[in-house]
């Protein structure tokens, strides 16, 4: 439409397969029939979209953690130093164990949000928690995977460095880690309604009923 232009973002650290760019609107006029939803619903629709986007980002982060874990385990079994696989060394085991914890806790948080979606429950809080934890865990797992692989991890030969580059951006988009920390704190303190006005939360959120009097006022 007249007044609308776009520009590609070049030289990104990672996610090279994804098209990233900027959108520019200069006095753009849209017909009324292009309205999404009803007038006044813009914020509600945008927030609903965020819940969906954050969920897919969290699920994708779980995949990165699993890839880092599987590749690191395979390498640690095969790579030998001083006559034994490096997987026998406790410092390597420590890194593998940390990836296991990051994967399983992230996946459980994603599954919790997924269950609420399937039940038709509002899941802003749970999806936020999954996105925050999974993306941070993915970046940590990628860092550890490079460490396990040593110089091979830093080079492009094994492809491990790609996990590291691609795991950095999700910590920023769909709400930075700092935004999600703020959301979780405000939910817990009662400054923010738990998942909107209906107050639906996961059954695991056993402390939620204690905030009912806060929200009632």
Residue 207 lies in a domain: no
The active-site residue out of 29, 44, 174, 186 is 174
The verdict on 24 and 108 lying in the same domain is no
Q: Are 178 and 156 in contact (CB under 8 A)?
A: no
CA–CA distance, 204 with 171 (Å, rounded to integer): 25
The verdict on 135 and 169 lying in the same domain is yes
**What ranges in the chain are assigned the alpha helix state H?**
42-78, 90-118, 124-149, 151-154, 160-168, 177-189, 212-216
The verdict on 90 and 163 lying in the same domain is yes
- At 214, is the pLDDT very low, low, confident or very high (cuts 50, 70, 90)? low
The verdict on 100 and 171 lying in the same domain is yes
The verdict on 183 and 77 lying in the same domain is yes
The continuous run of DSSP H or E covering 211 comes out as none
Residue 16 lies in a domain: yes
Write down the residue that tokens 């439409």 correspond to. 1
Domain range enclosing 67: 45-192
pLDDT digits (tens, 9 = 90+) for 126-180: 999 999 999 999 999 999 999 999 999 999 999 999 999 999 999 999 999 999 9
Residue 208 lies in a domain: no
pLDDT digits (tens, 9 = 90+) for 76-128: 999 999 999 999 999 999 999 999 999 999 999 999 999 999 999 889 999 99
CA–CA distance, 107 with 95 (Å, rounded to integer): 18
Full-model pTM: 0.90
Q: How many domains does the chain divide into?
A: 2
Residues in the chain: 217
Closest listed residue to residue 161, CA positions, set 20, 64, 62: 64
Residue 34 lies in a domain: no
Does the annotation count 174 as an active-site position? Answer: yes
């Amino acid at each position: 439409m007249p007044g609308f232009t776009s520009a590609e973002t070049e030289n990104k650290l990672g996610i090279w397969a994804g098209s990233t760019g900027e959108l520019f609107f200069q006095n753009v006029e849209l017909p009324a029939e292009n309205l999404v939803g009803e007038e006044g619903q813009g914020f509600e629709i945008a927030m609903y979209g965020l819940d969906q986007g954050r969920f897919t980002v969290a699920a994708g982060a779980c995949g990165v953690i699993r890839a880092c874990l599987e590749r690191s385990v395979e390498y640690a079994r095969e790579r030998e130093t001083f006559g034994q696989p490096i997987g026998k060394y406790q410092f390597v085991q420590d890194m593998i164990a940390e990836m296991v914890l990051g994967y399983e806790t992230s996946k459980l948080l994603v599954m919790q949000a997924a269950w609420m979606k399937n039940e038709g429950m509002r899941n802003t809080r749970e999806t936020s928690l999954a996105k925050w934890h999974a993306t941070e865990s993915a970046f940590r797992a990628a860092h550890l995977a490079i460490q396990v692989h040593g110089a091979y991890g830093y080079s492009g030969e094994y492809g491990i460095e790609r996990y590291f580059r691609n795991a950095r951006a999700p910590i920023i988009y769909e709400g930075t880690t700092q935004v999600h920390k703020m959301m979780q704190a405000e939910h817990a303190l009662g400054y923010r309604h738990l998942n909107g006005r209906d107050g639906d939360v996961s059954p695991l959120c056993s402390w939620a009923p204690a905030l009912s009097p806060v929200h009632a006022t």
